[in-house]
Structure 1
Amino acid sequence: MDKMLRGTLTTLGCDDKEIRLFLACYTRGAAGLSELAKTARLRRSTAYIVMRSLIDKGLASEDYKAYDKTFTAIPPDALARALAAKQRRIGRQHLELQDNLGELQALYRTSAIQPKVKTYQSLNGLLSILRDILSTDGEILIWTNQATESKLFNTVQHDQFIEARKASARPARVLAVHNAAGRALQAADAENLRTTKLLPPTVDFSAETYIYGSKVATLDYNQDIIGIITESTQVAAAQRAMFETAWISLG
């Protein structure tokens, strides 16, 4: 019987404290709040709040006629009617959901393709991006200006990223700004599981872009230290296509 009542009250939206206080009220009959709180093993201040919630839900009532105010749980037939009313509301909601399923499916598909964007700041934030890059499988495509990268990441951090990438067998292809740092990067390709091509001398930028999995990460350290990860299959595919176009054009 207790299990059945608990199940009914749960269906009616009651939490554990409300169920305990209702059962105390249901089994004891009309009683004062202190007595009910003791039976339900609740503090009186908590029991007062919980009782107000039960009254608001129509599951209990208070009697002002007695010398000491008492509270009473609704009888079984009223509880059955409350459950039936709840089931009717659920039934109507189910029908409404079915009637609008087409629109809801379209909305769901639209939300599913919205890019997820996260922004990071400071050196620690950018190091978090590098860890995210290493957490996925597959080739990494990189646009870089090694001259500006070295302003933020020291040699140890730079080498740690490369070693971690090599350890996880993650090859990289790099399009680098044509400067001394870019040429040095290219010269070390063979030992670093990497292929680098230098961009035309007229091309210059400060930000680095990593294309990996379904994500695109952009890191800029020329003025503000900021990083952005965009997670979107469509965006990553577009960025990958632009990278491939530039890669092929460089021979």
Structure 2
Amino acid sequence: MDIATVLQAVGLNENQVAVYITLLQMGSGEIQDIARKSGVKRTTAYSVLDVLMQEGLVSFVQKGAHREYFAEDPRKLPKLLEEEKRRLNRKQERITEALPELASLYNAHATKPKIRFYEGIDGIKQMFEETLELKSGTEMLAFSSAESIHEYLRDYVPYYLEQRVAKGIRQRAIAEDSPEAREHQKNDAKELRQTRLVDREQFPFSNEINIFGNKVMIASYKDLLGVIIESVEVARTQKAIFELAWIGAGSVAVSR
């Protein structure tokens, strides 16, 4: 077991952990010895010991002009964890109280466009998770590459589809034709989706564009990066472009 990691989990920082473990090993010691053996600078060790004493993990006795510090019984650590829980609860209460005012400040600028960037597979998954915040019965629009999704998000897709269907979020998608896209299209009804396939030679696209609410998500699987643009105007324009493409895809759609 990594003792240092456990101690950090209950709220001690790296220097506090080093000093406390050193004192446990030494039994007792003066500041210069504690600093030398723990690797913590002497000037820093003073403040670290003060904190540990406040937490009840260290005590001292005065010996002339010097203090000798002692590590307290480690069985006091559960009490420290309880205090950490109480601190977190107090923080949560304060945040909850402040939320209405914070939300009003946020909403005051809600009409300003917002752009957020994401990187890596986890970043792309995070963008998809945001589409699940839509209300039940809402429709999202997508330009999609089932082949790329299958390659990069194979394990995530079943979970995502299950969540989207459970939330009652519908989708219309224009996808380049591929074996993976045809398999997805077979499940359109049960996955609350309508899909139109287009010839991949004539209309190649390997990234993902989702339009939902007042947001537009663009994900590049090859580059493992993406962006969400939150803007009423941008979303409205992209929806219009999608509707135009949807009509066009109806006339050039690849048959099953």
Per-residue deviation, 1:190: 1.5
Three-state SS of the structure 2 residue aligned to 1:245 is helix
Which residue identity does 1:242 align to in structure 2?
Answer: I
Three-state SS of the structure 2 residue aligned to 1:183 is helix
Three-state SS of the structure 2 residue aligned to 1:209 is strand
- 1:219 and 2:219 are equivalent in the alignment: yes
| Partner residue, 1:166 | 165
Three-state SS of the structure 2 residue aligned to 1:192 is coil
Q: Which has the larger radius of gyration?
A: 1
Per-residue deviation, 1:200: 3.3
Per-residue deviation, 1:186: 1.1
Give the whole-Å Cα distance in 2 for the aligned partners of 1:127 and 1:148. 14
TM-score, normalised to structure 2, is 0.52
Q: Give the conservation status (yes or no) of the 8 Å contact 2:144–2:207.
A: yes
| Partner residue, 1:235 | 234
Per-residue deviation, 1:225: 0.4
Q: Give the conservation status (yes or no) of the 8 Å contact 2:134–2:169.
A: no
Give the whole-Å Cα distance in 1 for the aligned partners of 2:216 and 2:177. 23
Provide the identity percentage: 32
TM-score, normalised to structure 1, is 0.53
| Partner residue, 1:149 | 149
The one of 119, 122, 131 aligned to 1:133: 131
| Partner residue, 1:52 | none
| Partner residue, 1:204 | 204
**5+ long unaligned stretches in structure 2:** 1-108, 251-256
Three-state SS of the structure 2 residue aligned to 1:172 is strand
**5+ long unaligned stretches in structure 1:** 1-110
Three-state SS of the structure 2 residue aligned to 1:135 is coil
Which residue identity does 2:119 align to in structure 1?
Answer: Q
Per-residue deviation, 1:171: 0.6
Three-state SS of the structure 1 residue aligned to 2:117 is strand
What is the 5 A alignment of 1:1-251? 113-137=111-135, 138-154=138-154, 156-201=155-200, 202-222=202-222, 224-251=223-250
- What's the CA shift string for 1:200-226, capped at 9, x where partnerless? 34101111011000000011112x200
Aligned residue pairs: how many?
139
